[in-house]
Amino acid sequence: MSESQSLTSRQPRVTPDDLLAGLVPPPQFAAATFSSYRPDPAHPSQGEAMARMADLADQIRTPRRRGLLRRPVAPPSLYLDGGYGVGKTHLLAALAHEIGPERSAYGTFVEYTHLVGALGFAECVQVLSRRALVAIDEFELDDPGDTVLMSRLLRELADAGVTLVATSNTLPEALGEGRFAAEDFLREIQALASRFEILRIDGPDYRHRSGLPEHEGLSVAQVERALEGALASGARVSCDGWDALLAHLATIHPSRYGALVDDLDAVVITGAHGIDEDMVGLRLVVLVDRLYDRDLPVRLGPSGVADLFSERMLAKGYRKKYLRALSRLGALTHREWPGE
């Protein structure tokens, strides 16, 4: 039987070339298409958004031309707004697949800010300007620096004729609320909002349409059995204590969290308990997003998923990020487990 691995012993390295190569839909959405999207009939906005995105794909493939030199006109940029679990990421990935990896870039908001840091602003603009589509998942402004940076980046890409499509749980004019003095950066935020046609997608979290209960923490014995079963099946499994893992995340740049778990089949976390610190919580959100991107099943205990973030954290400016993380982590705890 193979031995478990430890995430806390890993210090992955990610080069700028790695970041560029990673600007494609993640494994979780590798097969996402418009036809595989399942709009909820009770919420017509979902079907309308799918149709609008499919129409946008046609526009990008065959842009209109105007003017004496018949220069191509970039299609409008779209902003998909809605709660977590309504399929915004699926639609964004489907659009990127329709356009193809040579002409599109797909990444989370965090990944684009990291790309600017790795390449430098001018080179990042030059690289992304060669794409017909830049897709930005989980668009959220957490600090003033991000606001100014992304406003400038999107302005230059749009001016270069790149179509921008973003998803978020927050309307663009409300970005930054509750996180920093957003009113001081209102001009930048309004400039961002003016660049997008907003598509509102309503509906419940599809990850819980099946009626799955909230995940309850596993006992020590249950976690141990899950780990033993996975290892006996030959799966590559990591096993880490909650506190040690959260402390280790602070030593790694979030742009490397994906590389931290890339070669695993499953993840075990022991000693899980609630937290009440936003910096710790935001790092955990990024890790959960990378686990979800890779569709990695998770087993953790003794605390259940619903108890991981404090009431204070769930009532403040980052609440939507935390709720998305709970939704995604809850889904991963119900994934088929190796050896079961």
The answer to whether position 263 is within a domain reads yes
Distance CA 193, CA 164 (A): 12
The answer to whether position 338 is within a domain reads no
Domain stops at, among 204, 237, 261: 204
Farthest CA pair distance, the chain: 74
| Average confidence score pLDDT of the chain | 85
Along the 340 residues of the chain, how does pLDDT read in single tens digits? 578 899 999 999 888 888 899 999 999 999 999 999 999 899 999 999 999 999 999 999 887 665 555 556 667 888 888 877 788 999 999 999 999 999 999 998 888 988 998 899 999 999 999 999 999 998 776 666 676 788 888 889 988 989 999 888 764 445 444 444 444 444 555 566 677 888 889 887 665 544 444 667 899 999 999 999 999 999 999 999 999 999 999 999 888 899 999 999 999 999 999 999 999 999 999 999 999 999 999 999 999 898 899 999 998 878 888 888 998 999 999 999 998 8
Predicted local confidence at residue 152, as pLDDT: 86
- Tens digit of pLDDT for each residue in 91-117? 999 999 999 999 999 998 888 988 998
- Tens digit of pLDDT for each residue in 232-248? 999 999 999 999 999 99
C-alpha atoms less than 13 angstroms from C-alpha of 149 in its C-beta half-sphere? 20
Same domain for 50 and 193?
A: yes
Q: Structural domain of residue 96, as residue ranges?
A: 31-204
Same domain for 192 and 49?
A: yes
- CATH number of the domain within which 240 lies: 3.40.50
First to last CA, the chain: 16
- Tens digit of pLDDT for each residue in 301-332? 999 898 899 999 998 878 888 888 998 999 99
- CATH number of the domain within which 200 lies: 3.40.50.300
Predicted local confidence at residue 292, as pLDDT: 94
Distance CA 151, CA 130 (A): 19
Q: What is the pTM of this model?
A: 0.81
User: What tokens were used for 203?
Assistant: 């509906």
Degrees (nearest 5) of the Cα angle 189, 192, 198?
A: 115
